[in-house]
Structure 1
Amino acid sequence: MPKQPVTEQDISKQKNHQQKPIVLTIAGSDSGGGAGIQADIKAISATGGYACSVITALTAQNTQGVTAVHPTPQHIIQAQLDAVFSDLAVTAVKVGMLGDSDTIRTVAAALRRYRPAHLVVDPVMVTANGDMLLADDAVNCLREELLPLADVITPNLPEAAALLDAPLPTRLDDVESLFVGLAKLDCGAVLLKGGFLQQEARSPDWLLSAGQVRCFDTPRVMTGNTHGTGCTLSAALACYLGQGFTMEEAVARAKHYIDQAILAGSRVRIGQGRGPVDHFFAL
C-alpha cells in the first residue's frame, strides 16, 4: 500500500508532541569528522536537538586540509530536501557549505517553499587551512538568494570581507570598519566571528541586530585544535533558536558551548594537523 503524504496537520501534531527540536543541517560532508555535516550533527545532538541532514558535497578532508570535492547532483539535493521536509517537523535549519550557484538556488527555493521557523546561514567560503569551498562567482548568488531568508548569518572575518568586497581586518581595532556594511546586508542579523584575530588574547564575536551591536567576548583558548569551530557554533545556534531562545540568548549559549568544546578539544590529539573540538565534552 503506498505511503500517504504527510499533511500540515501531521506536522503540527509532531511539533506539539516532540521532546526536542528537529534541526536540519544542509552542508558538505567532512570525511575527517571534524567539520561540515559531521560536526553539525554532533553539535546539534550535544545541545539538545535531533539532527537530520542534506549533504551538498562530499569532501576528501582531514585535519590537514581538503584534497578533493565532489558536488552532490542537484536532483539528489532536491530529493533529500523533500524527503526531510515532507516527513519531519523541522524547527530550525542551519546552512553551511553549498559550493556553487546552482546549489544555492536549489536550497533557497526549498527554504522559500517549506519556510522553517528559524534559519541560520553560515556562509562557508574558505577553510581555516585556506582551502576554497565556494566558487568566486557564487558570492553574489549567496547574497541575493539566501541571505534575505536568514534570521542570522555567521561569517568569520574573511567571509564578511568577501561578502562586502572589503579589506580584511587584521587587528581588533579595525573590525568595526565592517559593521556598517554588514548592517546593510539583507538578512535578519549578523553574528561576526572574530576567531581569525589570532594575535589577540581575547576571542570576541559581535551580534549586529536591530541597529545595535553586542560583543560576546571570552578569553581565547590557545590551541591549534580549531577545525570545525564555525560549523559547530552555527549548528548550536540553530539548535538553541529551535528551542525557543531569543537571538541574544541563543548566541550566548552557543558561544559558551563552543568555548567549552574548544577548551576540551585542546587536550586531545586527533590527526596530524588542525584537530577538531570536543563536541561531547559534557559527557
Structure 2
Amino acid sequence: MRKPVALSIAGIDTGNGAGAESDLKVYEILGVHGVIAVTALTAQSTTGIRAVLPTPPEFLKTQLDTLFDDFEIKDVKIGMIYNNDQFAVVKDYLRDKRVVTDPVLFAKDGTQLIKDLEEYKRNILRNTTVLTPNIPEASYLSGLKISSIEEVKLACKTISKDFNIPYVVVKGGHAEDDYSIDVLYDSNRDLYYGIGYMRLNQRHTHGTGSVFATAVSAELSKGNDILTALRHARSLLQDSIYYGLEIGHGIGPIDPVVPFMKKSMKFDVIQEMTRFSQEVESVDGFYKLIPEVQSNLAHSIPSQYVRGLEDIATFRDRIVKNWDNRVKVGLPAVFGKPTHTARLLLSILPYETKASVLMNIRFEDKIVNLLKEVGYNTLEINRELEPMSNVEGKSMQWIASYIHENYGRIPNVIFDRGVKGKEAMIRFWTSSIDEMIDTLKYLAKNL
C-alpha cells in the first residue's frame, strides 16, 4: 500500500494540543503518512508555555537530510520555527515544495514563538505556497487594521503581493455575530473565494491553527485543488472545535479524531440494528408488541458524542405486523430520520447518559407488569397535561423535560393510556441493543 508523505516542520507541544505531534495525528486520520522535523521542545500544557528548548540548527539539518534522503516529500507544513539559524537551515529544503505555513507568531498565552519576525518573513513566508493566518496574524503581517470582510480581502492581497505567496486564506472574518467566513485570495487568478461556517462558542480551542493548516497540507498532498482542500479542512476543524477537550486547568485542545471515531461508532450502530432486525423477525409472538401506529427503534452512538438527530439511527420504515403474525423490520437503518422514537431518545440523553436504545411498543397493563418483574422502574404520564401549543415534533421533548422536572430522573419505562387522537403507548429505553433484544423476547414469550 502507498500513501503520500508530508512533512511537518514544527515544535513539540508536550501537552499534545498543537505542534508536530498534533500534525502527525491529522495527517494520519486524513490518509497521509506524516513525518516530522522538530524545531523545539516546549514545556507546555493547557495553561501555557513555561519554557522553549530550540533544536540546534545542525541537528535540525540532520533531521531534514535524513527524511529527504529516504522519503519522496512534495508537501511541507510549517509551524513554529524558533530562530534565525533555523530559518537559514529550513529555507533550503522548501524549494520546489508545496508549503503550507501556519504563521504561529504568538502562542495563545502571548508567548512570542518566533524571535526575529523580519527574518521569518524573508526566509519562510517568501517560500510559502499557502499561508493560513487568523485575523490578528493577518493584521500584523499586512500592517492593516481589519474590521470588515473588505479589509480581510485587502489584507489577503497585500500579504500575497508583499511576500509572493500564491494563496492566502485569512480565517474567521465575521460577517454576522453567529457566522464567519474564511477568505481565500488566489493570486494566480486574482480572485477571492469565501467559505462560510457557523461560529462555535467553545472555550477549548487550543490547536485550531495547527489542525487547519495540516489538514490543508494533507488534502493538497492527496491531489485536491486548493478550494476543495480548504473546505475539507474547515469541515474537520468545525467538528474538532465542537468536541474540544475539557482537560487540564486552562484552554483544552480541540480533538480532530472525534469525527472519524463517530464514523466507526455509526457503523457499529448500523450493524447492531441489522442484528436486531434478524433477531426479532424470528421471535414467535413478537407481533403482540406492535401497536396500531406500528413501532420503530432508535439507537444512538455513545451519548457524549451526540449532537442531534444526525447521531441517532432508526429504521427507514417502521416495524410492522404482517398478516401471518410475523413482524417485518423496515430496513435499512438510517441516521437523521425525525421519528418519535429518535426525538424522544435525543430528549432523554441530556438526563440519562446511559440511554442508548429506545423503542415504542403496544400498551397493555400486563406488559407494564412484566417490565416491572424484569426490574425496570415504570412511570405513567398523562398526555392530557401536554400543552396544546406544542407544535409537531415537540411532544417527545415535552415528555422528557416534564418527567425530569417532576421526578428528577427518567425511568426506563414510560407509558400513557392515550388521549383523543393519540394511541396509548409504552416507550422504554435500555443501555444496549442486547438488553433491548432480551427484554423484548421475554415480553413476547410471556404475553
Q: Which TM-score applies when normalising by structure 2?
A: 0.55
Equivalent of residue 135 in structure 2, options 124, 146, 157: 157
Distance 1:242 1:67 in 2: 34
Return the letter of the residue paired with 1:182: I
Equivalent of residue 103 in structure 1, options 86, 93, 113: 86
Return the letter of the residue paired with 2:22: A
Instruction: Tell me the equivalent position of 1:254.
Output: 233
Q: Say if 2:25 is the partner of 1:42.
A: yes
Equivalent of residue 191 in structure 1, options 169, 172, 188: 169
Equivalent of residue 179 in structure 1, options 149, 152, 156: 156
| 3-state SS, counterpart of residue 271 of structure 1 | coil
Distance 2:168 2:100 in 1: 10
What are the equivalent positions in structure 2 for 1:118-129 lying under 5 Å apart? 118-129=98-109
Distance 1:24 1:155 in 2: 20
Distance 1:175 1:87 in 2: 41
Distance 2:191 2:172 in 1: 17
Distance 1:161 1:75 in 2: 34
Please list every run of 5 or more consecutive structure 2 residues that lacks an aligned counterpart in the other structure.
Answer: 262-447
Return the letter of the residue paired with 2:111: D
Aligned length: 257
Q: Say if 2:74 is the partner of 1:91.
A: yes
1:141 deviates by: 1.8
Equivalent of residue 276 in structure 1, options 253, 256, 262: 253
Q: Say if 2:185 is the partner of 1:208.
A: yes
Report the identity percentage: 32
Please list every run of 5 or more consecutive structure 1 residues that lacks an aligned counterpart in the other structure.
Answer: 1-17
Q: Say if 2:222 is the partner of 1:243.
A: yes
Return the letter of the residue paired with 1:27: A
Residues 23 and 131 (structure 1 numbering): CA distance in 2 closer, same or farther, change over 3 Å?
A: same
1:139 deviates by: 2.0
Instruction: Tell me the equivalent position of 1:132.
Output: 112
Is the 2:19–2:80 Cα contact (8 Å) retained in structure 1?
A: yes
Is the 2:160–2:166 Cα contact (8 Å) retained in structure 1?
A: no
Return the letter of the residue paired with 1:93: V
1:45 deviates by: 1.0
Is the 1:28–1:56 Cα contact (8 Å) retained in structure 2?
A: yes
- Greater relative contact order (Cα < 8 A, sep 6+): 1
Distance 1:147 1:102 in 2: 16
Equivalent of residue 2 in structure 2, options 16, 19, 23: 19
| 3-state SS, counterpart of residue 111 of structure 1 | coil
Is the 2:156–2:169 Cα contact (8 Å) retained in structure 1?
A: no
Return the letter of the residue paired with 2:71: L
Is the 1:240–1:253 Cα contact (8 Å) retained in structure 2?
A: yes
Is the 1:148–1:188 Cα contact (8 Å) retained in structure 2?
A: no
1:35 deviates by: 0.5
Distance 2:217 2:94 in 1: 15
Instruction: Tell me the equivalent position of 2:50.
Output: 67
1:252 deviates by: 0.9
Is the 1:203–1:217 Cα contact (8 Å) retained in structure 2?
A: yes
Equivalent of residue 199 in structure 2, options 217, 220, 231: 220
Distance 2:246 2:43 in 1: 20
**Bigger Rg, which one:** 2
| 3-state SS, counterpart of residue 68 of structure 1 | strand
Is the 2:100–2:217 Cα contact (8 Å) retained in structure 1?
A: yes
Is the 2:153–2:192 Cα contact (8 Å) retained in structure 1?
A: no
| 3-state SS, counterpart of residue 75 of structure 1 | helix
1:215 deviates by: 1.1
Distance 2:150 2:239 in 1: 26
Residues 70 and 200 (structure 1 numbering): CA distance in 2 closer, same or farther, change over 3 Å?
A: farther
What do residues 85-118 of structure 1 show as CA deviations (whole Å, max 9, x unaligned)? 1001123110110022221121001223xx33x2
Is the 2:12–2:19 Cα contact (8 Å) retained in structure 1?
A: yes
Distance 2:153 2:166 in 1: 19
1:177 deviates by: 4.5
| 3-state SS, counterpart of residue 93 of structure 1 | strand
Residues 47 and 19 (structure 1 numbering): CA distance in 2 closer, same or farther, change over 3 Å?
A: same
Q: Which TM-score applies when normalising by structure 1?
A: 0.85
Is the 1:139–1:163 Cα contact (8 Å) retained in structure 2?
A: no
Return the letter of the residue paired with 2:56: P
